[in-house]
Structure 1
Amino acid sequence: MIKLHHLENSRSHRVLWLLEELGLQYQVVRYRRDPETLLAPPELRQVHPLGKSPVLEEDGLVLAESGAIIEYLVQKHDQAHRLSPPPGPADDPERLRYRQWLHYAEGSMMPPLLLSLVFARVKQAPMPFFAKPIARGIADKVLMTFVRPQVRLHMDYVEAELGKHAWFAGERFTAADIQMSYPVEAAMTRGGVDGYPGLQHFLDRIRARPAYQRAVEQGGGSGPLK
């Protein structure tokens, strides 16, 4: 039996969604964030040393990192290649796009989105009154000169790429779309939807999928932290 250690409002929604798309039997162990720090509870460190989610268990295997988990599940349980390109040459365009988006989601798009969240919280953090103008000034400077331009850069890039194909890897829905769902949702939440009809259309389509909706029910929510 597959066991997924799932943290609310986190990347592990993608794994829940994939499990539902694959029609697999699984058990969900749900964890709630600390209401003050928003961090994962210490119990997750008993599952994996980093105390992060998602963590997947199957047949004695303990696997972390959403991208690695998605690749593992697709390779092992998607023999019909419904959610991945069929076997072919390494330079096959669909396979290259599929692999690129699996890695781009966390390797390139998520870092500036995470910085956006961190510096926004710095501005709201409790601190001595005399330190607030300094801290907020620094946070605003970093957000305006680096973080927000980087977020927009990635949103523009993804918007343009979605205009070339129906889905990220090509003309059919794949696990690459599942992997990209979290940074797209985070970008649209923190960067705004104006000027990005392709990204909004992508979100509308994935949220309409029955497997996505079942994953929301199983996990108690889907969206990234605001």
Structure 2
Amino acid sequence: MIKLHHLNKSRSKRIIWLLEELNVKYEVVPYQRDSVTFLAPPELKSVHPLGKSPVIEDDGLIIAESGAISEYLIDKYADGQLAPARGTKEYAEYSQWLHFAESSAILPLLLKMFVAKDGCETNFLADYADLETAKVIQFFDNSLAGKRYLVADQLTGADIMMSFIAEIVKNNGELDKYKNIAAYIEQLATHPAFIRADKIELDAQA
């Protein structure tokens, strides 16, 4: 059975969604952030040296990093679903979005969060984070024009990965600025596995 080491309010929520879509047997091992520092608990370091989440265990393998986990699970368990055929134009687009989520998209959003938490004036970082965030989120929004999903008009791992970015936009109260992302979130929420993942994550926080 797959074991998912899941940290509350983290990127591992989308791995729950992926596992639900795959309809495989898995177990969620929940961890809670420190209420003051918001950091992951030290217990996660016994699973992976970085002490971060998500991490999965499967067939003796321990795999970290959301993108790597998604690729591994889809390759092994999706039976040709949730990804376009390799070697196609659609697969190249899919791969780009899969990795965009944890590279260009997430970095400025994290910088904005860190600047806000720090609370001090910056000479460069705050403005840079604002500009880069606006650029990547506008790119995301523009790419969704006239689409239900990012690639091939079907749900793929790219959508599952990018759902975390879309939810940050929503949680920041900025959906009125990005109509395509707003419609995209509504579309993702039509998937029963998405709804189940929300409930499973809430239950894991209890």
TM bin, normalised by shorter chain, reads over 0.9
Q: Could you state the TM-score of these two structures normalised by the residue count of structure 1?
A: 0.85
Does 1:103 find its partner at 2:99?
yes
Contact 1:151/1:191 (CA < 8 Å) preserved in 2?
no
State the AA in 2 paired with 1:101: W
Give the aligned residue type for 2:110: L
Report the 3-state secondary structure (helix = DSSP H, G, I; strand = E; otherwise coil) of the residue aligned with 1:29: strand
Report how far residue 221 of structure 1 moved: 7.5
Q: Distance in 2 between matches of 1:51 and 1:6?
A: 11
Distance in 2, matches of 1:209 and 1:167, equals 12
User: 1:218 and 2:181 equivalent?
Assistant: no
Deviations 1:97-130 (A, max 9, x none): 100000101110000000011011111xxxxxxx
Q: How far did residue 208 of structure 1 move?
A: 2.9
Equivalent of 1:138, from 94, 118, 122? Answer: 122
Secondary structure in 2 matching 1:107: coil
Structure 2 gaps of 5+ residues are: none
Query: Which whole-Å deviations, capped at 9, do the CAs of 1:77-97 have from their partners, x for residues lacking one?
Result: 011x2211124x3xx221111
Instruction: Give the length in aligned residue pairs.
Output: 204
Greater C-alpha Rg: 1
Residue 156 of structure 1: how far off its partner (Å): 0.9
- Residue 219 of structure 1: CA displacement? 1.7
Q: Is the 8 A contact 1:9 1:221 kept in 2?
A: no
1:154 aligns with 2:136: yes
SS of residue matched to 1:4 = strand
What residue is the counterpart of 1:131 in the other structure?
Answer: none
Q: Please say if residues 181 and 203 of structure 1, whose CA atoms lie closer than 8 Å, have aligned partners that are also in contact.
A: yes
Alpha-carbon distance in structure 2 between the residues aligned to 1:105 and 1:212: 18
AA aligned opposite 1:153: K
Q: Is the 8 A contact 1:152 1:191 kept in 2?
A: no
The offset of 1:206, in angstroms, is 1.3
CA distance in 2 between counterparts of 1:72 and 1:36 reads 34
Q: Does 2:2 align with 1:20?
A: no
Aligned twin of 1:69 = 69
Deviations 1:8-57 (A, max 9, x none): 01010111000000111101100000000000000000000000000000
**Cα distance between partner residues in 2 of 1:12 and 1:196:** 24
Q: Give the match's secondary structure for 1:84.
A: coil
* Residue 56 (structure 2) aligns with: 56
Is the 8 Å Cα contact of residues 97 and 170 (structure 1) preserved in structure 2?
Answer: no
Asked if the contact 2:176–2:182 (Cα under 8 Å) also holds between the matched residues in 1, the reply is: no
In structure 2, distance between residues paired with 1:175 and 1:11? 14
1:204 has 2:186 as partner: yes
Map 1:117-136 onto structure 2 (within 5 A): 117-123=113-119, 135=120
Q: Please point out which of 81, 90, 100 is paired with 1:94.
A: 90
Q: Which amino acid aligns with 1:119?
A: V
1:193 to 155, 175, 198: 175
The 4+ residue runs of structure 1 with deviation greater than 6 A are none
- Structure 1: gaps (5+ residues): 124-134
Indicate if the aligned counterparts of 1:151 and 1:187 stay in contact, CA closer than 8 A: no
